[in-house]
Amino acid sequence: MIQAAIISTGDELTTGRTTDTNAGFIADRLLGLGIDVVAVLTVGDRPERLRWAWSEALRLAEVVIATGGLGPTADDLTTETVAALLGRPLVHDAAVAERIRELFRLFNRPMPENNLKQAAFPEGAVIVPNPLGTAPGYRMEVGSAEDRRHLVVLPGVPREMKPMLTETVLPWLAELAGAARVGHRTFQTFGISESGLDEVIAGIPGEGRWSFRANFPEVSVRVVVRGDDVERRLEAFGREVYARLGQYIYGEGDTSMERVVGALLAARGVTVAFAESCTGGLVSHRLTNVPGSSAYYRGGVNAYANAVKEALLGVPSALLEAEGAVSEAVAGAMAEGARRALGSDLAVGVTGIAGPDGGTAEKPVGTVCFGLAAADRPTVTRRYQLWGNREWVKLLASQIALDWVRRHLLALPLLEIGPRGAGPAEAKRESVAPS
Ligand code: AMP
Ligand code: MG
């Protein structure tokens, strides 16, 4: 398996003025080719630090991809440093110089002489064209046949770097990596913790590399398979994953809970409505972010005050008094009221305590109750203890409301949330290092 290192260059990155988005973009594309990224090194615009990063990267990995430091100014040092490190002279490329001159003529601007610095390359470099800027990138091969290293140098501006990577560098790397023999699948899950997933996945036989990504409140699992028979092996992994985790997997690849729920409602011809208290309309907001939601979304009642729960949803005041606004009974009555008022096939009610205030010993912050009302079946209710700050409780509650619709339509069991579910341990970890 080919290993790669990524170098991100620039004082703006080490001082925190700019967030390094290039490394993540490149890493994701390399993973898609089955190339293993062993390190991402970030250094400022200093020759000795650049030299350190390049020496380390070349020691660690067969492929090194660097961005930044290709500008015309004195602080852009990548090319000089790489040439010096490899002991190669700089060679002036007349064609590139002419293109830079032409670009300036085109914009009717005088060209500062230092722009021609961008037409100098280490000897042996192959130009990577830059359709959107003046500085082209380049790639080089160094070392002996037994100890080959491949270097790629690209500009730092993301808008320029991305097409250069996608159009020129990736096809070349794909050939190098034999990308035809690599494949991957990403499963999107909700309602089970990363460690819970890990435990289940660990028992799946077969050779594949699994990785997890927690993006509150969801966790995605990716499997990468290399070698022969990639398609068949991915199929086999898929079957095992669904057999063990089926109810938690709401989709694959680039999707979201609201899109999946929207597609399900559309396919079944079922309409939905929501009665929201603590989520303040978030459930409706998320579902109406899906294009085409008018086909199944009837509307929502944002019933924050008890008076609104009574007046618009017909929740009996005696019930509110006896059980409290945050109770399974009220969540159920809210769902039934929304279904009645809005004329939907299905309705979900959500009421809870998002915090930071308002919790009691009996109903602490994070207590959220749900109700689902549908035709021809009794209303279902449940109380969950959620976690995190106000924003998290709202987001998690909205996710649960959507997942309830999904589970209802697919006749799956009711969501269970415990320490093994999308558990508190996960929440703590995430709150320290949000992804
Ligand atoms: P450079 O090629 O070093 O002249 O970079 C030009 C500009 O690209 C910088 O001023 C940053 O705004 C941006 N940039 C450079 N490196 C990165 C990176 N790793 N991620 C995001 N933006 C970057
Ligand atoms: Mg720079």
pLDDT score of 308: 98
pLDDT score of 427: 37
Measured in angstroms, how far is the CA atom of residue 155 from the centroid of ligand 1?
A: 7
Nearest residue (CA) to ligand 1, atom 4: 71
3-state SS of the chain is: CCEEEEEEECHHHHCCCCCCCHHHHHHHHHHHCCCEEEEEEEECCCHHHHHHHHHHHHHHCCEEEEECCCCCCCCCCHHHHHHHHHCCCEEECHHHHHHHHHHHHHCCCCCCHHHHHHHEEECCCEEECCCCCCCCEEEEEECCHHHCEEEEEECCCHHHHHHHHHHHHHHHHHHHHCHHHEEEEEEEECCCCHHHHHHHHHCCCCCCEEEEEEECCEEEEEEEEECCCHHHHHHHHHHHHHHHHHHHEEEECCCCHHHHHHHHHHHHCCCEEEEECCCCCHHHHHHHCCCCHHHCEEEEEECCCHHHHHHHHCCCHHHHHHHCCCCHHHHHHHHHHHHHHHCCCEEEEEEECCCCCCCCCCCCCCEEEEEEEECCEEEEEEEEECCCCHHHHHHHHHHHHHHHHHHHHCCCCCCCCCCCCCCHHHHHHHHHCCC
pLDDT score of 313: 98
Question: Per residue of the chain (435 residues), what is the pLDDT tens digit?
Answer: 899 999 999 999 999 999 999 999 999 999 888 888 999 999 999 999 999 999 999 999 999 999 999 988 888 999 999 999 999 999 999 999 999 999 899 989 988 888 889 999 999 999 999 999 888 999 999 998 888 999 999 999 999 999 999 999 999 998 888 755 778 899 999 999 888 899 999 889 888 889 898 888 889 999 988 888 888 999 999 999 999 999 999 999 989 999 999 999 999 999 999 999 999 999 999 999 999 999 999 999 999 999 999 999 999 999 999 999 999 999 999 999 999 999 999 999 999 999 999 999 999 999 999 999 999 899 999 999 999 999 999 999 999 999 999 999 999 999 998 543 444 333 333 332 222
Pocket of ligand 1 (CB under 6 A): 8, 10, 12-13, 18, 20-23, 67-71, 76, 155-158
pLDDT score of 59: 96
Measured in angstroms, how far is the CA atom of residue 143 from the centroid of ligand 2?
A: 28
Measured in angstroms, how far is the CA atom of residue 127 from the centroid of ligand 2?
A: 19
pLDDT score of 180: 54
pLDDT score of 203: 87
